[in-house]
């Protein structure tokens, strides 16, 4: 148990220190409002943003009860973490939605369904940010997907497999619901990842959560 605890701590430190998605989101997210994090894990993003001065309130969902238990231990009064699956759980309306390294554990049809649910949870003018592995040729893409398969095999990430679609396909899927869709590189070192985002139209005609 002590070894596992140290492994978790080392992984968390490495993530926030070297993974560019944290500082990228810290630069792009609003300072106030409500953030829904689908696949929140141990709550690293919420903790990082709070340390960076964010005044956002947070709702974090994850299917892994052990990881949510860790998030709950470090949560402040404006952070709420619960065990839930974004595919079927009620999603609160939010000014911004994040989904970091989650979609590629789902089949394509379930990815599209989750995307639609997260977009519906956005308030008009709100933005969705997705980070997922990139489908690029070469070593970086192979290395990234290999590590994702290893994480599934050892139980670090729960899922039935790995289904990487890449930024172009995700951007196309997102454009069915959102405007101003953007793709940015969000990997470092030997890892190939992309940050895909889009904004909900202010006159979409849909109430948040519908």
Q: How far is CA 3 from the centre of its chain?
A: 27
Q: Which pLDDT tens digit goes with each residue over 141-179?
A: 655 666 666 665 556 555 567 888 999 999 999 999 999
Q: Is the pTM of this model over 0.85?
A: no
Q: Which are the contacts of 21, defined by CB distance < 8 A and separation ≥ 6?
A: 100, 131, 186, 193, 195
What pLDDT, on the 0 to 100 scale, is given for residue 13? 46
What pLDDT, on the 0 to 100 scale, is given for residue 15? 55
Which ranges of the chain have pLDDT less than 50? 1-14, 210
Separation CA 189–CA 187 (nearest Å): 7
């Amino acid at each position: 148990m002590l070894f596992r605890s140290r492994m978790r701590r080392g992984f968390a430190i490495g993530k926030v220190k070297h993974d560019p998605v944290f500082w990228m989101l810290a630069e792009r997210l609003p300072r106030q409002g409500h953030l829904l994090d689908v696949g929140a894990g141990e709550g690293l993003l919420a903790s990082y943003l709070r340390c960076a001065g964010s005044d956002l309130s947070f709702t974090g969902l994850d299917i892994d009860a052990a990881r949510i238990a860790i998030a709950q231990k470090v949560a402040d009064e404006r952070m709420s973490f619960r065990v839930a699956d974004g595919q079927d759980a009620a999603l609160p309306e939010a000014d911004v939605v994040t989904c970091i390294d989650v979609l590629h554990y789902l089949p394509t049809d379930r990815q599209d369904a989750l995307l639609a649910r997260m977009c519906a949870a956005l308030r008009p003018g709100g933005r969705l940010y997705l980070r997922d592995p990139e489908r690029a040729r070469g070593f970086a893409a192979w290395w990234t997907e290999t590590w994702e398969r290893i994480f599934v095999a050892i139980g670090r990430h729960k899922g039935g497999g790995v289904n990487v679609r890449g930024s172009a396909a995700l951007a196309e899927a997102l454009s069915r619901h959102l405007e101003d869709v953007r793709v940015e590189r969000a990997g470092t070192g030997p890892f190939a990842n992309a940050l895909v985002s889009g904004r909900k139209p202010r006159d979409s005609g849909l109430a948040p959560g519908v």
